[in-house]
Chain A
Amino acid sequence: MEEAVIELDELRKTFVVRRRAGRLKRTRHEVHAVESISFTVPRGEMVGYIGPNGAGKSTTIKMLTGILTPSGGRVRVAGLDPSRERTALAQRIGVVFGQRTTLWWDLPLRDSYQLMRRMYRIEEPRFRKNLDRCVDLLDLGALLDVPVRQLSLGQRMRGDIAAALLHDPEVLYLDEPTIGLDVISKAKVREFLHDLNAERGTTVLLTTHDLTDIEQLCKRVMVIDHGRLVYDGDLGGLHAIGESERTLVVDFERELPPVSVDGARTVRTEGPRQWLAFPAGASAAPVVTALAERYPLVDLSVREPDIEDVIARMYAGA
């Protein structure tokens, strides 16, 4: 058994919210954001942590960083109790919250990195090396002197990822790192994370909405819904359980009647464009080959199923 870096044992978080009910009365209301989640992540693994909005992903990550104290259960990261030893843990983890930035809004990107250097007490040579590497791989060279507020979302996200890695964390949490990014930025971020994990052995926990992130990065995926872990395994298995389907979006040279090929069925047509569904576990290649042999193709792309669909199907199948 490999050494576990992240360990959760029946971890729970309950929020108490007070809602106004009538003029003066307020009612107490409990929100069970995380309900008894247990899992371990061995060192060097890259895991996807997925689920619909409000499932409890961010709450879990906040407990793993120590900024939220669990309501129950046990959590250990790199052998530390996050909420008790938050400052010690901070030296060993990196965090990127997709919708928030750790960068200094009004000042050039470069200044934020100097701040990180002081904050994490990184020695100069190591800082240089790590920064150069991130600047190179994340294509930040031209951005270093630009004030953060002038960066696009994709540029800012790359800047934030670099900021989280300058102190060589053993563990990196990414909460929706690709949300709102354009295709090129998404690809760049994915490639970078893949290399980070492969070359440096950084343990990565990634939450996302986008199954393509998982498809390309994570062998293991955990699905959380309503605060509970409902699946833990590989992506293929998840698709198999849910019998979920991927979609091939095909542009033909001209408008055609719904096409028919083995292994896929046409689910929608719109002018020269048609949507073909095929089992998510299967390869797209035979379908594409068959299409190309028989029809005048212009363009095509594959879409991963929506997380919401996969989960809905999982329940339907169970």
Chain B
Amino acid sequence: MRLYALVAAGGFRRYATYRIATAAGVFTNTVFGFILAYTFIALWDERPGLGGYDQSQALTFVWTGQCLIAAAALFGGGFSDELQSRISTGDIAIDLYRPVDLQLWYLAQDLGRAALQLIGRGAVPLAAGALAFDLALPASPLRWLVFLLSVALGCVVSFALRYLVGLSAFWLLDATGVNMFSTMLSMFFSGMLLPLTVFPGTFGEIAQRLPWSALLQVPADVLLGRHEGVGLLAALGFQAAWALVLLALGRAVQAVATRRVVVQGG
């Protein structure tokens, strides 16, 4: 266990060395947040109460999204690109002979990264949003704590999804298509572009039950206090269930991949 704690700390510090990239990310997230915020204002002026949010809740949703973009990797990528390139260059050989669990190793490293990026890239945009707009942020510290728990679960789900994307490189010589497709799914079905509750009927129902909603929709609703009591437990349980299912799936795929492992090159 201490090994994986060390790996997580390494993931944290590794991203901490990229100061300029972090600053650039903060700037981009903030600008993107303002653009989305004004779009939402226009939309909610036209349709007040859309998706069950008032305008200030909708804006809170926008800035929560900006806060989580990097941490929950709403655009995909991160370690999965690295995993793919290690598979295609054959460097995966190194990861495989060591007495460690490949999935836990990457999970630890990615959670370390997520923690750094939640602080480094998430806090400032959220603060900027809170200064510029009237957000519906909770006063209760407990609510913030539960929000953090929900974010952590979302990050695990995000990891598990991207782990599958990463492993696809064992079968595909060029994973670009898979990466683009998964990024698109993640951007849309996390609720980053529009809260999923906005979509009517069966489509909306389904969208809210897909794993990507654990990345942003659920944590944002937890922060907004839309889940209380049993409902809150159900929301967290929903995230945990997807995390477990997807991690198990990742393990199964990993077992198949390493059994027929094709470690490329010399």
Contact = CB atoms under 8 A, between A and B. Distances in A.
Contact of B17 (A91, A115, A147): A147
Contacts of B94: 97, 100-102
Nearest to A103: B94
Q: Interface residue tally of chain A, by bracket?
A: 20 to 34
Interface in A90-119: 90-91, 95, 97, 99-102, 104, 106-107, 111, 114-115, 118-119
Interface stretch (A58-66, A227-235, A299-307): A58-66
Contacts of A54: 266
B99 A119 contact: yes
Contacts of A118: 2-3, 6
Nearest to B89: A100
A119 B90 contact: no
A58 B96 CA distance: 15
A259 to B, nearest CB: 41
Contacts of A95: 97
Given A95-B97, A119-B99, A15 B10 contact: no
B172 to A, nearest CB: 12
A137 to B, nearest CB: 23
Contact of B261 (A53, A57, A67, A104): A67
Contacts, number: 64
Contact of A119 (B3, B17, B265): B3
Given A67-B263, A68-B263, A86 B3 contact: no
Interface in B87-121: 90-91, 93-94, 96-100
B90 A102 contact: no
A87 interface: yes
Contact of A67 (B6, B96, B99): B96
B93 A90 contact: no
Given A58-B266, A106-B14, A107-B13, A65 B3 contact: no
Contacts of A100: 90-91, 93-94
A315 interface: no
B50 to A, nearest CB: 44
Interface in A1-30: 15
Contact of B97 (A15, A66, A111, A114): A66
B55 to A, nearest CB: 43
Nearest to A105: B14
A66 B96 CA distance: 9
A69 interface: yes
10 contacts: A15-B262, A58-B265, A69-B261, A86-B96, A99-B266, A102-B94, A107-B14, A115-B3, A118-B6, A175-B266
A68 to B, nearest CB: 6
Residue of B3, B263, B266 with highest tally of chain A CB at under 10 A: B266
A274 to B, nearest CB: 36
Contacts of A65: 93, 97
9 closest residue pairs by CB, A with B: A118-B3, A90-B99, A106-B14, A67-B96, A65-B97, A58-B266, A87-B99, A67-B97, A102-B94
Contacts of A102: 94, 98
Contacts of A90: 97-99
